[in-house]
Structure 1
Amino acid sequence: MALIHYGQFSGTLHPPNQSIQAIDESKKSIRGVSRKLKKHNFFVTKKNGISVPRTWLIYSPSNVSVFCYICKLYAKTSKHLLCKEGYSDWHHITERLIEHENSTTYRNAICDYSNRSVELKRIVCQLVKEYKTEVQYWRNTLKRTIAVIQFISQRGLAFFGDNEILGNSHNGNFLGIMELLATFDQFLKEHLNNYGNKDSGKSNYISSHTFHSTPNVTHILAIVLRYVKSEGQAIERFIKFIDIYSHNAEYSTSTVIEIIKQLGLNIENFVGQSHDDASNMAGKYTGLQVRIKKIAPAAEYLPCAAHSLNLKYKKEEKFNVNVEKKFGFLFKENLTRNEIMTRIKALILLYENELDIDAESFVDEFIQFQSLITSTNNSTTITPTDQLKFIRNMQIAHTFPNVETCILDTSVTDLETVRRVRQLKKMAI
């Protein structure tokens, strides 16, 4: 009977299995009365009412008796049955367990056990130390990796380049930033020296295999199903990630249909679908959504709200940089009309496809809007998003239509895109 084991050298001692699930087979006839071990015998109730498990008590189905495994290991001279052959008098088991817990033999055995439990006194102490050192090393590595992943993700940048060779200028943003940090971080420098440019199959947290075990995180298709229960409750469930090897609509369609078949569902019964706004997915003529709709006519397409908002925020990042250069004068005081006129003319050239107004009228509109902002004395109306909220909350878009168009997005070049971005901003707000 295995009495005790170590948890993969983690430094934690695990008590043996108590075999409580087998106590139903402990029935014995004692003085003509059928008795058996009870589950409550494996617990002791203190005076304050708290029940504490007797982790030292082990039931042996083969011997049909119980042992104190700590005393069996460390109280070799004891003659108590709990420490040797095992105890099986279920009629007096409660009294014997209490007596054993309060005995000097048990307390001495517990002291020996605790003393041997100290890591430095274990047979596997060196293995435990090596294990903990290894765990800490990879935690430190992963901490740096996650920080770089967060930095790149927040900025919507690509992770990998043409190769994954350290020292190569085309190895992408992820490895490039890791190399930059290694210039100032001795730990990371040694890690890159030891694990960089190694063969695949070796863990290092710096290769593309760190990201879902695929060369690029964009080559993964996530399948999520949404259904409605009979009582009307809508349920959404993530099904799986799928490695894909092409982004064209035909391949995506066949992949989705195959997954639906594997799930035992009939795609013709689908009443909706949602994908990102990429042309291969949302295309009106050959996109995935059109192909699905031909099979399931009721599967109306809705753009993925999360993806749409992500695009919106990426646009706004560009917008916040450009607006300061091209529109920032609106927030500056004490500008003369001629200075404003110069900037307005530049905006009219930039928005010649969206704006139908002469420079003089445009200047008047800007000056009036600037006056309104100043009169409100509202310090929050600084960023472009705040300006849009201000216009919408005050319901003055019809009064300052050209101001709203310019604030909407300086990178927009056609009215259709203006309309779509405006809808997304309404969703966000």
Structure 2
Amino acid sequence: MKHLSDDDIAQELEKLVQAFKPSSIQKEKIRRSIFVLIHPKKVFRTNTFLPTFISLIVLLVVGIGLYVIIDGSNTTNVTASWDGILLEQSSQTSATRFALKFNGTSLTIEDDFLGSNFMSDKADREAYMRGYKIKKPLLTPGIYENYTITQRGDTYTLKVNGKTGFTYNFKKLGPRILVGEDGVEYSTRIYLDTLEAITDDITPEHLEIAPQSEHTFLIEWELDSMDRGNHDFESHGHGQLVVSTDFDELQRGHVVYYHMPSSVIAKNSAVPEMYIGRVVGLPGETVEIKGGQVYIDGKKLDTFYGKATMNGLGEEEYFDSVPKSRIRDEQSTREYFNMDMAAVAVKENTVFILVDQWWRGYDSREYGPLPIDEVEGIITGIAE
């Protein structure tokens, strides 16, 4: 084995140093990794971004406000058009048979279903209830005051104010069919898609004494086809009727004295040749009766003569005030109050006539629109 001197060892070590000595490129990389400054972290300063935040908040508030305004403009209060509506549960998916009656400012919710109440055993009742898809309907029977109905698209929202208040939404499935937010379906005899109404603030509900002139003549009338509860048009109780021939055109609400079409007299010889009735539809209009309510061009005729009555009473008033012993056939009577008539177009130079008490007289439901030339005059009142 060769012994190395100190110089030999130094030379060998120098060779090892040269082998591991980094190149100029490696030195530069090392220098950069050690001495190049590290970028400082960014510091979030609220005051720098405050104007931006305020602008975003303002834009958000304005956007929400516009949305509420636009959304609210599409919501219509239809409470008045629901007065007199009866909703009856038509589905059998819950152990209820709800009936909702809207009368003025009052809403009555009734549940006529007895069902499991007859079962004495709790287990039997629970088993019985399992057969229904809807376990707990949201409505509760009772009488509620101060309700409102609003419509937005096909959704109706019922809102009841007060301590017992609640909100309940209906989705319209058809003109007479609704489904509640809990899935219970309802039907009604009245079309719900009519928001506009036609009113008559001029025609008096009862006749008053009228003056006579060279353009008037008197008639006797003994039928009760126009009776609204006090026999206004019946001569035996109030005297003769004054008929005026001085008119330029017929208006809605006018009670006219006219020649009954021969087609009616041919069917019933007891019908007088001269008859009286009220002008309801005018030339160019379409008249329809749905659920006992008259509609003109799809708009509800919201007048005292625009719906089925008996002696001036509507359905609910009639059944509340007339003793049951005097009602011979309740089903037929209710069918009368909710009768339908297909739409009839009123052509030029004709008018659509209805008597006030539909079940006691003849009118355009029988013979169609009446030619205006058949009208002899307008009844203006009772003779002195």
TM interval, shorter chain, is under 0.3
Higher relative contact order (CA 8 A, sep 6+): 2
Identify, as 1 or 2, the structure richer in helix. 1
Larger Rg: 2
Give the TM-score normalised by the residue count of structure 2.
Answer: 0.22
Identify, as 1 or 2, the structure richer in strand. 2
Give the TM-score normalised by the residue count of structure 1.
Answer: 0.20
